Amino acid sequence: MYQHNGEEIFVIDGHVHLWDATEDNIKHDGGEEFIQCFYDYHTTFTPEERQWDLDEYRRYGADRMVEDLFSNAATDMAIFQPTYLTDFYTEGFNTTEQNAELATEYPERFVLNGTFDPRDGEDGLEYLEELHEKYEIPGVKLYTAEWRDDSKGWRLDDEEAFEFLEKCQELGIENIHAHKGPTIRPLNRDAFDVKDVDDAASSFPELNFIVEHVGLPRLDDFCWIAAQENNVYGGLAVAAPFAQNRPGKFSEIMSELLWWLGEDRVLFGSDYALWNPDWLVEEVLEAELTQEHRAEYGVEWDIETKKKVMGENIAELYDIDIEAKRRAFQDDEISQQFGLEDHYASEEPAAADD
Amino acid sequence: MSARMPDGPTRAAVRDRLDRVTDPELDRSIVELEYIDSIEIDGEHVSVAFTLPTAWCSPAFAWMMAVDARDEVESLPAVETARITLAEHMHETEINRGVNERLSFADAFPDADGDVEAVRAELDEKARVARQYDAVETLLEAGLDAETIVDLRLRDLEAAGSGANTAQSGSTEAAIDDETVAIYAADRSFAVSVPVAPLESYLEKARETGLVTEPDERLFRTPEGEPIPLDSFDLVHRRGRLAQVNMSSQGGICDGLREAREGRLEKTADD
């Protein structure tokens, strides 16, 4: 739990991966381009002294991940969001099965999400059922720009996609995370266009649609849709690191999000291993909105808002009981490993003086 | 053919033309963004080399910039041909060949679905909305109210000097200088002078998107292109602000990626 001005904030990182981009696993140029692109994002926003080298970035492994996420208690829990990319990587880039390696070892600390691809048809529906049966996945991460043979992407409002969303509803898989982020490699069509979320969200009001990367570079389309569909949420992965090297821009993006979506529908995510939560959480929590933006938008990045965005909002979506978790973490394996027993055992601190 | 200038264009003239080419996603000049690596002039033949922030920039966007650069430079009377070279891009071969051989996007990229015009139209529309925010801010600062602003027509704008021919020519009654424009309001019962730049910039995109071309047409629109209902004025204005925040945030990412890549390439060169 992050200590902030005398208060404790339970942090759930809503967007993490355990990926493998080693050269042995790459089967298409796109795979190498993809990890190089990630690495440029990494070095762009990571403080210089915290940057990784490309080799460790290709494959960091389970132990390092656990340490990066939990050792200093900046993060308390994390949610795996798989990215298959099986046309680019022989064994996939970051599959549910790869993520399950850790998620099943530390079930209290990780939430494991699955995925679907409507282009897989009947086989895909079966696979989704399998994932649900085997891992009880509470959500899926969808990558609409994924290449599959001749196809360079799909849309959430396709008829085929609706069949899969119906299946999710039937199975009780309520959290639909759609990657709507920076354009990596579409040709002319925009496979990360966020507009397809609109129809899907209004057609499936019982599902939660979490738009990852708050739609950047389509923040405008995203906010407009979210303003009308109250089951649409914004994941901060990629927007969060602006707090580190462009604080004025972070203030502006956050002000827009809080104005259009409100403080209940914005969710923190580090996008690990793009960025490490061990420094990012601090940067985001210590960030401030500028006086100008506070006056202009009439919103606050105060302690209550921070608690919601950093953990409470996503806990609500995933039925996580934060107080029960806190008690459980007083002597779980990870607390023992990193000597955090006292950290979680501490009494609820007195309210801050100010 | 008409007589040609013997010595080709000046560097300044080429640069001025390139300055009119924008990154369609950011709505900023490719000169200002420092994408241009070199300009070479050999008589009537001009070569321009440019690099984008990452090798993974959308091929559609890269294509638009390359085609626009070619066409802008070739619009100079002293230029016979412009050769454009995009460097360090995953699709540089297809783009350079396509643009210099004057192919269509669909011919240059056989596995794309159709052409880039729809993408361009969508980005132009976003740029229009973002520019509208500045134009409307200018009017609000000048003291016009929402009711007046939503009702303004193209004919209510009258340019001051010859360099700023914003609407119909002719009237110079309200002229102060080249940098202001007169806005006639309340059935032309009064006029307010405001800086011309934000309005000109807005009108350029409003015309490009085909929204405001006739004198009687409403000047400002919703992002969907409709006249603005008075009770939606604040919301529409907010959406303009949001469009600007989106573009500048993406600009921040692009700037960062460009620096990261330059750093990486320098490091490689040092090794």
- For all residues of chain A together, what is the average pLDDT? 92
User: In this predicted complex, what is the ipTM?
Assistant: 0.91
| Contacting residues of B for A187, CB less than 8 Å apart | 59-60, 109, 111-113
What are the extents of the domains in chain A? 2-342
Would the pLDDT of A184 be above 70?
A: no
Average pLDDT over residues A128-149: 93
A253 in B contact zone (CB under 8 Å): yes
pLDDT at B268: 67
pLDDT at B262: 79
Q: Which residues of A touch B94 (CB under 8 A)?
A: none
Residue ranges of the domains in chain B? 11-114, 118-160+179-243
pLDDT class of A351 with cuts at 50, 70, 90 = very low
Indicate whether A139 pLDDT > 60: yes
CATH 3.40.50.1820 fits B11-114, yes or no: no
Percentage of the residues of chain A whose pLDDT score is greater than 70:
95
Residue A334 contacts residue A291 (beta carbons within 8 Å): no
- Quick one: closest CA in A to B58, which residue? A185
Region B242-268: mean pLDDT is: 85
Give pLDDT, residue B271.
Answer: 60
Rounded distance between C-alpha atoms, residue A308 and residue A263, angstroms: 7
Select from B109, B115, B245 the Cβ nearest to the Cβ of A252: B245
- Do the chains contact at B263 and A252, CB–CB below 8 Å? no
d(CA A15, CA A309): 13
- Whether B53 and B46 have beta carbons less than 8 Å apart is answered as no
Q: Per-residue pLDDT for B169 more than 50?
A: no
Give tens-digit pLDDT for B69-128: 999 999 999 999 999 999 988 889 999 999 999 999 989 988 777 678 888 999 999 999
A218's enclosing H/E stretch is none
Put simply, whether A186 touches B (Cβ < 8 Å) is yes
Residue A311 DSSP label: I
B4 has pLDDT over 50: no
Average pLDDT value for residue range A142-147: 87
Distance from CA of A215 to the nearest CA of B (A): 9
Measured in angstroms, the CA of A210 and the nearest CA of chain B are apart by 19
pLDDT at A81: 98
pLDDT of A187 strictly over 60 = no
Residue B213: strand, helix, or coil: coil
- Mean of the per-residue pLDDT values of chain B: 87
Q: What is the pTM of this model?
A: 0.91
In the CATH scheme, what is the homologous superfamily, with its name and number, of domain A2-342? Metal-dependent hydrolases (3.20.20.140)
Give the B window 20-59 contacts with A, CB below 8 Å. 25, 54-59
Instruction: State how far the Cα of B258 lies from the Cα of A50, in Å rounded to an integer.
Output: 20
- Looking at residue A50, its pLDDT comes to 94
